[in-house]
Amino acid sequence: MREQLILLPGWGLGSLPLEVLVEALRGLAPQLQVTIEALPELDSGEPRDWLLELDERLPEHTWLGGWSLGGMLASELAALRGERCRGLLTLASNPCFVAGSDWPHGMPEATFNAFVDACRQDSRATRKRFSLLCSQGADTARDLARQLQAGAPQLAPEVLLGGLEVLGNFDGRSAIQRFAGPQLHLLAGADALVPAEVAGDLLALQPDIVVGLIEDVSHAFVLERPHEVAAAILAFLSEADHD
């Protein structure tokens, strides 16, 4: 049976960051069916509302993956489906985007709250700032940020705020622990949004998972280094297929 991988994008930037990665995957593994599924356009900040819509929309018995917020949602959906999910992969994704007393490696709560307030006042300017944060650490950060901004879809401010609330409310730690299938969590070494140090926290949650790191790349490494990310994904899929 032909393997199918469904990828979910991150907050606010649509499918563009994943499109080049998908082309790289198709070029390296024509037998793999890869699709990008848009995130829900909801004004709700409750992760469960987003999760239920995705569960209703997406076919079962596929690999689930995603970049940033998309990876967080993929983790929870994989745990919900259990044996009805082939496996999970996340890209520059943190189980808890916002840091807390029991999860130190995330965005400080005050910084995140200020970001939400800024989005409430001017969502367009905030999304531009987000593009710059995503590309920070890349060799060609400004060019990468311009690509991200140019491909960003038109979304209602309420939807953007809803997505930020999901980011702030999300805690995917138990999902990683509950899902018994193969898992790859790929991190970016120069990520300004998801610290590479989260690798140790992930392994503490579930020692049987695979955590990978690509050095000297930004949060937007799916667009910055698509072939390197694709190669890491395919190596993981091949290894999981032989287990």
User: Tens digits of per-residue pLDDT, 195-219?
Assistant: 999 999 999 999 999 999 999 999 9
How far apart (Å, rounded) are the C-alpha atoms in residues 239 and 229? 16
Given this model, what pLDDT does residue 156 score?
93
DSSP-assigned states of every residue in 82-115: GGGS-EEEEES--SSSB-BTTB-SSB-HHHHHHH
The correct answer on CATH 3.30.750.210 for the domain covering 4-242 is no
Whether 68 sits among the annotated catalytic residues: the reply is yes
Using 50, 70 and 90 to split pLDDT, how confident is the model at 241?
confident
How far apart (Å, rounded) are the C-alpha atoms in residues 195 and 97? 10
Whether 61 sits among the annotated catalytic residues: the reply is no
Would the CA dihedral through 53, 57, 60, 62 be positive or negative?
negative
* Lowest-confidence segment of 71-80, 178-187, 234-243 by average pLDDT: 234-243
Whether 219 sits among the annotated catalytic residues: the reply is yes
pLDDT at 242 over 80: no
Which of 93, 131, 135, 191 is labelled catalytic? 191
Q: What are phi and psi of 83, to 5 degrees?
A: -70, -10
What is the pLDDT of the chain when averaged over all its residues?
Answer: 95
Which of 75, 93, 123, 219 is labelled catalytic? 219
Is residue 26 within 8 A of residue 4, CB to CB? The reply is: no
Residues in Cβ contact with 215 at an 8 Å cutoff, skipping those fewer than 6 apart: 189, 190
Using 50, 70 and 90 to split pLDDT, how confident is the model at 240?
confident
Is residue 223 within 8 A of residue 214, CB to CB? The reply is: no
Which of 68, 123, 135, 218 is labelled catalytic? 68
Within 13 Å of residue 111, how many CA atoms lie on the same side as its CB? 11
pLDDT at 243 over 70: no
How far apart (Å, rounded) are the C-alpha atoms in residues 204 and 198? 10
Nearest to 147 by CA among 70, 216, 224: 224
Q: Which residues pair with 63 in a beta bridge?
A: 5, 87
Given this model, what pLDDT does residue 223 score?
96
User: Tens digits of per-residue pLDDT, 49-71?
Assistant: 999 999 999 999 999 999 999 99
pLDDT at 222 over 90: yes
Nearest to 163 by CA among 82, 53, 57: 53
Using 50, 70 and 90 to split pLDDT, how confident is the model at 1?
very low
Given this model, what pLDDT does residue 202 score?
96
User: Tens digits of per-residue pLDDT, 111-156?
Assistant: 999 999 999 999 999 999 999 999 999 999 999 999 999 999 999 9
